[in-house]
Structure 1
Amino acid sequence: MSRRMPLPIGWTLAVLAMSLFGSLGAWQWGRAEQKEAMLADTARVLAERQPQALALAADASRLQAYDWVVGEGEFLPGPAILLDNQTRDRQPGVRAYRVFLPAGGGEPLLVELGWLPVPGDRTMPAVTPLRGPQRIAGLLVPPPSEGIAQASPTVLADGSLLVIALQREALAQALSLPALAPRVLKLDPDLPLGYARDLDILPNTLPPERHVGYAVQWFGLAAAVFITALVLTWRSRRAGRRGR
């Protein structure tokens, strides 16, 4: 009965490296598929534009869904929210949000009013208050990813809140609100409100094709490690046979 030889240390390291690179490649590929599905879902919603009620923003079961909504209400008189580190046409800036209260009740929701530039001295732009009843429309989207950054809102001189992520609980507390709707409304660019904006659901993030490119690179590295290990093993065995 033959005994199985232990795996040489070189192959052990090679297998570990291939597993790591393969896992990273699979993760990138999965992210590409997720974002392609998001874009396809959004394209369908925008093509149909079937108006739904603003109250749908409070439906936690549709947190990751996309819906076109239309409704009336008014913007609350509280401070604006400025989401920092947002680029547009390669210029640094912020995305401005205000809280909108739907008519007839329902949870208040964050409405993205658009993008504003930030100069080199980091002077934050002022966001014009919006008073009186308003009829709004737009795309309900999941909130931008919070990432790993966690920080409390910074209160600016004009009372606006500067944030690096839209953390619902922290924002609701800072705004003295019991809660905020789980999803955010990207305001219809055709409405005469707010600032420069679009309905891009992947701003300041990698598009699917970039994830595919990174996946191919990781898979290529895994293949390179495998081929290198094979070549080194073949050379080692060949040298061993010559030395006999």
Structure 2
Amino acid sequence: MPLWLGWLLAGGVIALFCSLGSWQLGRAKQKEAMLADAQRILAERRPVPLIARAQGEHARDYSWTQGHGRYLPTPAVLLDNQNHQGRAGVRVLRLFQPDDGAAPLLVDLGWLPLPGDRRLPPLPEMAGPSEVRGLLAPPPSEGMARALASRQPDGAILTTALDAPELPALLGVATLSPRLLKLDPALPGGYARDLDILPNTLPPQRHLGYAVQWFGLALAVLITALVVSLRGRGKRGRDAASHEKMPR
């Protein structure tokens, strides 16, 4: 292989690894900012009305809220692939209509384990007036795959992410609030829950570790390319010297 072609390939691989490392660094900074914002909100716990922070421009914000409304008689939404203390399960969400005119939003009632056959016990309805309080937060990341939602035989809606396009239609509403309400664990009812905002995704430290790995791989490719290049030049030099010493 010509030397220039080898360096071209090495340069492309190095650029790819560096871009992946930079992306991981960016994700680490984003999540650090998210955690800092959420911790500040949780420390202050100054409630804002549900309608004041339910608009689209606040879709990525965190807010502590409190309000009245009613749970709608719609099926439970089960967010799949959720872990809690090392066990697999689902998060149970119910649709809540605030009295202040805000758009309906999903309330996270907590986590339930999944048995081996993935059958859940019957989920009690929660239709009726209620007071809620907790952390308004962006929905969990949908990951790389397209979000899918489907109705189960028992009527519940199983979804892989809360931004599934078919979710509002399955719930019988025109639109959903861009955020969900993580119900205060101090309130009675519901299931095992907390106010962790990164329960099923990588923390900043993991992103930083992956960034170091990508940059390390880029450095390894560069060193390998240099070694191969120097060896190639040395071999060509020795071949040239041998050729000059050959009798004519």
Question: TM-score range, shorter-chain basis?
Answer: over 0.9
- Structure 1 partner of 2:211: 215
2:166 is paired with a residue of what secondary structure? helix
Q: In 2 relative to 1, CA 157–242 (structure 1 residues): closer, same or farther, beyond 3 Å?
A: closer
* 1:95-244 alignment, distance < 5 Å: 95-150=91-146, 152-167=148-163, 169-243=165-239, 244=241
Output the amino acid matched with 1:199.
Answer: L
Deviation at 1:89, TM superposition (A): 1.1
Measured in 2, the distance between the counterparts of 1:166 and 1:58 equals 16
Q: In 2 relative to 1, CA 151–17 (structure 1 residues): closer, same or farther, beyond 3 Å?
A: closer
Measured in 1, the distance between the counterparts of 2:108 and 2:27 equals 25
Measured in 2, the distance between the counterparts of 1:207 and 1:57 equals 26
Q: In 2 relative to 1, CA 151–169 (structure 1 residues): closer, same or farther, beyond 3 Å?
A: closer
Number of residue-to-residue matches in the alignment: 239
Measured in 1, the distance between the counterparts of 2:147 and 2:65 equals 31
- Of the two, which has the highest radius of gyration? 2
When structure 1 is superposed on structure 2, of 75-84 and 145-154 the one drifting more is 145-154
TM-score (norm: length of structure 2) = 0.91
When structure 1 is superposed on structure 2, of 142-151 and 172-181 the one drifting more is 142-151
- Structure 2 partner of 1:15: 11
- Structure 2 partner of 1:70: 66
Deviation at 1:168, TM superposition (A): 5.6
Gaps of 5+ in 2: 242-248
Which of 79, 87, 90 matches 2:86? Answer: 90
For 1:166-217, what per-residue CA distance to the aligned partner results, in whole angstroms no more than 9, with x for missing partners? 1264211111112111111111111102100111111111111111111101
Output the amino acid matched with 2:58.
Answer: R
- Structure 1 partner of 2:36: 40
2:134 is paired with a residue of what secondary structure? strand
When structure 1 is superposed on structure 2, of 18-27 and 151-160 the one drifting more is 151-160
Identity, in percent, stands at 56
Output the amino acid matched with 1:166.
Answer: L
Which of 20, 24, 35 matches 2:20? Answer: 24
2:229 is paired with a residue of what secondary structure? helix
- Structure 2 partner of 1:3: none
For 1:106-161, what per-residue CA distance to the aligned partner results, in whole angstroms no more than 9, with x for missing partners? 21100000000110011123322224321111111111122343365322233111
Which of 45, 49, 54 matches 1:53? Answer: 49
Output the amino acid matched with 2:42.
Answer: L
TM-score (norm: length of structure 1) = 0.93
1:114 is paired with a residue of what secondary structure? strand
Deviation at 1:234, TM superposition (A): 1.6
Root mean square deviation, CA, Å: 1.6
Measured in 2, the distance between the counterparts of 1:220 and 1:60 equals 40
Deviation at 1:85, TM superposition (A): 1.1
When structure 1 is superposed on structure 2, of 123-132 and 207-216 the one drifting more is 123-132
Contact kept, 8 Å, 1:74 with 1:132, in 2: the verdict is yes
Contact kept, 8 Å, 1:57 with 1:181, in 2: the verdict is no
Q: In 2 relative to 1, CA 197–217 (structure 1 residues): closer, same or farther, beyond 3 Å?
A: same
Q: In 2 relative to 1, CA 164–125 (structure 1 residues): closer, same or farther, beyond 3 Å?
A: farther
Deviation at 1:57, TM superposition (A): 4.5
2:220 is paired with a residue of what secondary structure? helix
Measured in 1, the distance between the counterparts of 2:151 and 2:144 equals 21
Contact kept, 8 Å, 1:80 with 1:97, in 2: the verdict is yes
Q: In 2 relative to 1, CA 134–154 (structure 1 residues): closer, same or farther, beyond 3 Å?
A: same
Gaps of 5+ in 1: 1-5
